[in-house]
Amino acid sequence: MDIFNVDVLIKKSLTSGDNYHEFLRSDHLSVGIYTLSIGQIDPQSPHSEDEVYFIRSGQGRIRVAGESRAVEAGSIVYVPALATH
């Protein structure tokens, strides 16, 4: 069993210098903290794996497969594999 503290993970993520800080990987799952600054556009391209985004703070919009929706703190977004986002 592994237990993680979100505040500690965010601090590590912010000091890593990268937008994405992976903290768990197994054969069938990876989990990380992905941080965007205010106004920053997500530069990612479609992935071969499904993704789940949990918006911890702030607000914005996400576009997935041509559909644009508002998101805010507490929103959870599922993005299927290979979907443009």
- What digits encode the pLDDT tens for the residues 60-76? 999 999 999 999 999 99
- What digits encode the pLDDT tens for the residues 14-51? 888 888 899 999 998 999 998 888 888 888 888 888 99
Q: What does the block give as tokens for 54?
A: 């949990």
Burial label, 27 (beta-carbon count in 10 A; 0-12, 13-18, 19+)? exposed
Specify the pTM.
0.78
SS3 letters across the chain: CCCCCHHHHHHHHHHHCCCEEEEEECCCCEEEEECCCCCCCCCCCCCCCCEEEECCCCEEEEEECCEEEEEECCCEEEECCCCCC
Q: What does the block give as tokens for 65?
A: 């497969």
